[in-house]
Amino acid sequence: MTTTQLNQLTHRLETINGLSKGEIGQNRLVYSPTWVSAQQQVIKWGLDLGLQVSVDDFGTTYMDIPGTVHPDQVIAVGSHIDTVAQGGRFDGLYGVLGGLQAIEDLLETAGRPKKTIRLISFSEEEGSRFPDTFTGSKHYTNQKVNLAMTDPDGISFENARKDAVGKLNLPGVTHAKPGLPSTFTELHIEQGPRLIDRQLQIGLVTAIVGQRRFTVTVKGIANHAGTTPMDERADALEMAVTLISELRSRAHELNKNLTFTVGEMHVSPNTSNVIPGFVTFSIDTRYSSENVLDKFEHIINQVVEQNQTTNITSTVNRWAKSDVTHLDDQLLSANQKIADRLGFSSTQLASGAGHDSQIMAKVTRTTMIFVPSINGISHAPEENTSKEDLLRGVELLTESLRQQAY
Ligand code: GLV
Ligand code: MN
Ligand code: MN
Ligand code: MN
């Protein structure tokens, strides 16, 4: 890849990231106005490059260069266009625009491929607006998504979806969901510190941890902060704090590598002089063995059950579960050889973050390429990767696509 191509990749990244200008971090929550503008921009770049663009019912965008010899064999590459709230500049987007850059480089240097190459910009992966994750890749792979689910403002997935997807119907775009590919490759930032700490340039992903997400609802009694005696309160927030701290220690006791995160909490009425009567909080927990996750899920239910009092009741609802995923060995070793040939230092590692690849791996041979995250930071505005590392990831991807499709 030349300096001009690197500049183009950087320029495209900044164009999309510029859509959240003036905000804290990136806020491309699925089907939001910023998400629509981003997906429209990706479509325009694809059309400019002469790719055949289609958009499905969920707003996932597919951009094909049809193969000259085996057009029905599809080598797919891509990632997601959405972000978490106050997210970073590379999570998801790098895989989409890095894929576009690789395709552009291949068209310039090698012309049309023998097999079809398909760039996919998945509509949603993060589970940050609606209570489900990976809805873009789930829809592509024919898994059910609950259309009636609502966001915190009460807007249904179905209504948000219809509205947003209607706006992707640009001239030259077909409305369709294409068939499944023969392979899928996702280029992504590592989102953790392992590569950067060991000064390695490339990570090749062996597996993706299983994850489960829950909402705990605590109902107490709202009352006056000054007149209600301390021993007669049914304080829902105090109970939430007790539950969180007990679960945090139980997780650590069970397995010190099991992750436990409470990232979201709603307190009602959320006023300084009222005892909280109602609280909800999220739990995100992950590990590389189902057995440990099963045990911890049992502990969550048990701890919540054991902490019921006459006036405070708590319930747990699990709304997302994904199993540990093993990625394709052959694609991994092919990429390992390419990385070695290009002189990139690398390691093979499991991913602690969830990815569309774990959904794609259920239906097709799937592999992932990681590049380092500076300071291991992700899902935050400080998320960053050096230009040299962005470049190395795209170069490896380009060679992998060349090997698979030409
Ligand atoms: C999604 O990126 C997740 O791993 O939470
Ligand atoms: Mn991601
Ligand atoms: Mn993410
Ligand atoms: Mn992810």
Q: What is the pLDDT of residue 5?
A: 86
**Centroid of ligand 2 to alpha carbon of 134 (angstroms):** 10
Residue 23: per-residue pLDDT: 97
Distance CA 249, CA 251 (A): 5
- Distance, CA 126 to ligand 4 centroid (Å)? 6
Neighbours of 249 (CB within 10 A): 10
91 CA distance to ligand 3 centroid (A)?
Answer: 6
CA of 186 to the centre of ligand 1 (A): 14
CB under 6 Å to ligand 1: residues? 126, 353-354
Write out the binding residues: 80, 91, 126, 188, 213, 273, 286, 379
**Which of 29, 138, 319, 355 best tests ligand 1's pocket when mutated (most atoms within 8 Å of CB)?**
355
What is the structure's pLDDT at 19? 97
- Smallest CA-to-CA distance from 190 within 333, 260, 90, 323 is with 90
pLDDT for position 4: 87
pLDDT number for residue 286: 97
Q: What is the pTM of this model?
A: 0.91
Q: What is the pLDDT of residue 50?
A: 98
Angle of CA points 61, 140, 367, to nearest 5°: 90
Predicted confidence at residue 145, as pLDDT, reads 97
Q: How far apart are CA 94 and CA 339, in angstroms?
A: 19
Q: What are the per-10-residue average pLDDT scores of the chain (406 residues)?
A: 88 98 97 98 98 98 98 98 98 98 97 98 97 97 97 97 98 98 98 98 97 98 98 98 98 97 98 98 96 98 97 97 96 98 97 97 98 98 97 98 98
The confidence score (pLDDT) of residue 1 equals 72
Binding residues for Zn(2+), as ranges, are 80, 91, 126, 188, 379
pLDDT of residue 166: 98
pLDDT value at position 28?
A: 98
Ion ligand 2 residues within 5 Å by Cβ: 91-92
Q: Which of 126, 285, 370, 377 most suits a substitution to test ligand 1, by most atoms within 8 Å of the C-beta?
A: 126
The ligand 1 atom nearest the CA atom of 91: 2
Give the pLDDT of residue 8. 95
Q: Which domains does the chain have, with CATH numbers?
A: 3-208+324-405 (3.40.630.10), 210-322 (3.30.70.360)
pLDDT given at position 300: 98
And the tokens for 317?
A: 């609802």
